[in-house]
Amino acid sequence: MTPLIPAAHQLNRRDTAVKILLLGSGGREHALALKLKSNPKVELYVAPGSDAIAECGVCLPFGAEDGKALTKWVSKNSPDLVVVGPEAPLVCGIADDLTRLGVPVFGHPRATSLLEGSKSFAKDFMTRHNVSCAFSITVDNIEEGASLISGWRHGYPIVLKADGLAAGKGVTLAQTEAEAIETLRDFLAGRFGDASRKVVLEEPLFGMELSLHILVDVRGESASYCMLPACQDHKRLFENDKGPNTGGMGAFGPIPSLRPEDMERLRKDLVEPTVAGMQKDGLEGRGVLFFGVMLTADGPKLLEYNVRFGDPETQVLMQLLDEDLSELLYSVATHKLKPGELKIFPGTAICVVLAAKGYPDDPQKGAVIDIKSPACSLIHAGTVKTPDGWKVNGGRVIGLATRASDLNEARSAVLSDLDQKQVCWPGMQVRRDIGLKAL
């Protein structure tokens, strides 16, 4: 299977405006919205969007989960393309519903979205199709689970994963047998509702983590994909990878230590068997697949699939991508991802997240954000516009994003904005070491 790279498609050759509906409201969607709007022909609508996103498109008064309102709006307005940001509506089948209306949708059908929506489904898929990954076993009752944990021979910490979507909180690394059994009991009793009635017990992997995104177009026998530059997220709250897990405190890409042969290995061990497996299983691909990868001493292993763009990885990827995003996503949505050159900026991009006081456990909303004139782009995630100015309205508040000739320069640009307090508020949390280890 040769990787195919898209060439220009006809979307922008028309004389009329290109009407795009984007679903979502966070930092990922603000980054996508800004990129889509860099094409002046794009007429952007966003459901539900945010005050920041409203500066680049029309925000609609309903959310990505409101299938009824969405299908009504789509039927009436016939957008040229719908782009689905978050995973939850995909797992609920929003792409199937909208495709039935005859609209091109960038976003996988429900059956494919279970690669993110069910860890046991994903692990079964990986095992059957020889996608390199950790040993695992799925349990749904405490007696069997406790006995498996007591006889565990696959190393500690034991990794416990809620089967379904748990807003990024469904993974626990248990250091002892007692902790593993206690966590299992808690999960099975419904800590994450139905999402944790089944639990995957997994062997621990050690190494460097990375995020690999591919655009993937699979329908029947035909398949094409293209790989985007690998990025690295920083999940822990504090510098030096200390503190609680978060949605991601900052990312950069590409990763300087990854050589072309390492990217080739990722393609051979993870990407190719995944795409071939989707073809074999009849899983339609019409969106992005984000591989959470651990580079272990035994080579790359897949931690998880996501069926959406990562956040804050998207903020990095949109800095790096020198393509018209509307054409690219449209070519995937219409199963016409074609060979050609995918233009990627030949340097490094970074996004450093500014988070609210109290994030991730108890983010404090309401502080007024002092914004001067930062050199970096501001990607809003949890903000609201008020007569007093922008205010904190979520956990991850704003990302400072930029690109430069190398990681050092990209980091310096962000640090300079931070040193000059170009964006700040009382209690703001930020990691100044994003990308530092990679230098």
Burial of 370 (0-12, 13-18, 19+ CB in 10 A): middle
Distance CA 359, CA 246 (A): 8
- 417 is a contact residue toward ligand AMP (CB under 6 A): no
The residue from 29, 311, 324, 417 that contacts ligand GLY (CB under 6 A) is 311
Residue 306 binding target from ligand GLY, ligand AMP, none, CB below 5 to 8 Å by type: ligand GLY
User: Quick one: 74 or 174, whose CB is closer to ligand AMP?
Assistant: 174
Phi then psi dihedrals of residue 357, to 5 deg: -55, 135
Orientation of helix 177-188 relative to helix 142-150, angle to 10°: 160
| Contact window for ligand GLY (CB under 6 A) among 65-73, 199-207, 309-317, 410-418 | 309-317
User: Quick one: 164 or 248, whose CB is closer to ligand GLY?
Assistant: 248
Distance CA 425, CA 439 (A): 29
String of DSSP letters for 220-249: TTEEEEEEPPPBEE--EEEGGGEEEE-S-S
Distance CA 140, CA 105 (A): 35
Residues that bind ligand AMP (rule: CB under 6 A) add up to a total of 12
Least distance (Å) between residue 248 CB and ligand GLY: 4
- 87 is a contact residue toward ligand GLY (CB under 6 A): no
Cis peptide before 48 (omega within 30 of 0): yes
User: Quick one: 121 or 330, whose CB is closer to ligand GLY?
Assistant: 121
| Contact window for ligand GLY (CB under 6 A) among 255-263, 295-303, 305-313, 425-433 | 305-313
User: Quick one: 110 or 235, whose CB is closer to ligand AMP?
Assistant: 235
- 126 is a contact residue toward ligand AMP (CB under 6 A): no
Phi then psi dihedrals of residue 159, to 5 deg: -95, 120
Q: Could you say which residues in the range 208-247 bind ligand AMP, by CB under 6 A?
A: 209, 235
For residue 135 the two structure tokens come to 């040993």
Torsion of CA 205, 207, 213, 219, to 10 degrees: -40
**Pairing verdict, β 383-386 and 158-162:** unpaired
Distance CA 82, CA 75 (A): 12
User: Quick one: 145 or 250, whose CB is closer to ligand GLY?
Assistant: 250
For residue 54, give the 3-state DSSP assignment: helix
The residue from 99, 306, 348, 383 that contacts ligand GLY (CB under 6 A) is 306
Residue 311 binding target from ligand GLY, ligand AMP, none, CB below 5 to 8 Å by type: ligand GLY
x-or-dash string of contact with ligand AMP, 304-323, rule CB under 6 A: x-------------------
User: What distance lies between CA 410 and its chain's CA centroid?
Assistant: 21
Residue 205 binding target from ligand AMP, ligand GLY, none, CB below 5 to 8 Å by type: ligand AMP
Least distance (Å) between residue 249 CB and ligand GLY: 9
The residue from 33, 44, 134, 349 that contacts ligand AMP (CB under 6 A) is 134
Q: Give the H or E element holding residue 180.
A: helix 177-188
- 313 is a contact residue toward ligand GLY (CB under 6 A): yes
Look at residues 388, 234, 328 and name the one whose alpha carbon lies nearest to residue 12.
Answer: 328
User: Quick one: 200 or 318, whose CB is closer to ligand AMP?
Assistant: 200
Look at residues 348, 360, 355 and name the one whose alpha carbon lies nearest to residue 423.
Answer: 355
| Contact window for ligand AMP (CB under 6 A) among 200-208, 253-261, 359-367, 425-433 | 200-208
The residue from 63, 292, 340, 427 that contacts ligand AMP (CB under 6 A) is 292
Q: Maximum distance among all alpha carbons in the chain? A: 67
Residue 313 binding target from ligand GLY, ligand AMP, none, CB below 5 to 8 Å by type: ligand GLY
Amino acid at 300: P
Give the interface with ligand GLY as residue ranges (CB under 6 A): 233, 248, 306, 310-311, 313
